[in-house]
Amino acid sequence: MTKLIRIIPDNCTGCYLCEQACSFHHTDECRPSATRVTVVAWGHVGLSTPLLCLQCDDAPCARVCPEGAIKKIANGVMVIDNVKCIKCKICMIACPFGNIKYDDVTSTMIKCDQCGGDPECVKICPSGALIYEDAGSANMIIQQKYATQLRTDSGEASE
């Protein structure tokens, strides 16, 4: 079943715990430059949102890779085979969201691998800005939010 780490941008408080936990999981060090999830922030007014790979079914990164190093595994997760990868960085350029990056310290391409099915960023986020769920029903929260606007008497459901 395809899994999604869904971003809820409005909930992000800019604490960067997701970056911390991600880098610690992948390196055993506290090194946010190794994070697979990135917080983009407008610091002076405290706005921020995490961004990370959404695991495209028909992924541009995989399509452009000259070595065929990016493959889909269980749960629909796209992973990079570091033995095949030649670090040409074309995948980084092809990703429309900028969600693949080059780690300068280890000279490798890195992206979200959903931690093998138990994503650390989701577990540590104190704000509910990241949710791990089945991609097939991930739209429900958004639909529910808008449904309350369509059905103005929906408040009665909780009475």
Partner 1 sequence: MYGWIGQLLRVNLTTGKITKEPLDPIEAKEYIGARGLGTRIWIRECDATVDPLSPDNKLIMMTGPLTGTLAVSSSRYEVVCKGPLTGTIAASNSGGYFGPELKYAGYDGIIFEGQSEKPVYLWVNNDEVELRSAEHVWGKGCYDTTELLVAETNPKARVNCIGQAGENLVKFAAIINDVARAAGRTGVGTVMGSKKLKAVVVRGTQGIKIADPKGFKEVMERINGVLRTNASTGCCGGLHEFGSNVTYSFLDDAGVLPVNNFRDTGTDCNADNLSGESQTNVWLVRTKGCMGCPIRCGRITRSTGKHASYAEGPELETIWSFGSDCGVDNMKIPMAAGHLCNDYGIDTITMGATVAAAMDMYEAGILDKETTGWDLKFGNEDAIVDLVSKTAFREGFGNDLAEGSYRLGEKYGHPELSMSVKKQELSAYDPRGLQSMGLNYATGNRGACHVRAFMPALEIYGLPVQVDRFATEGKAAWVKIFQDIASSVDSSGSCCFITFGITSKEIAEEMTAITGIEYTEEDFIKAGERIWNMERLFNLKNGFTREDDKLPPRLLNDPIKAGASQGYVNRLDEMLDDYYNLRGWDRNGVPSQSKIEDLGLSKLEL
Q: Among 142, 125, 141, which residue's Cα sits nearest to residue 13?
A: 125
2, 6, 8, 31: which one binds partner 1 (CB under 8 A): 31
CA atoms within 13 A on the CB side of 102: 11
Q: Please, what is the Cα angle at 14 between 24 and 39, to 5 degrees?
A: 60
3, 5, 23, 121: which one binds partner 1 (CB under 8 A): 23
Give the per-residue contact string, 48-87, with partner 1 (x = CB under 8 A; - = no).
----------------------------------------
DSSP element (H, E) containing 23 = helix 17-27
Binding status of residue 30 toward partner 1 by CB under 8 A: yes
Restricted to residues 93-152, the positions that interact with partner 1 (CB under 8 A) are: 104-105, 124, 126-127
Q: Among 36, 50, 4, which residue's Cα sits nearest to residue 109?
A: 36
Binding status of residue 9 toward partner 1 by CB under 8 A: no
Binding residues (CB under 8 A) for partner 1: these are 13-17, 20-21, 23-24, 27-34, 43-47, 104-105, 124, 126-127
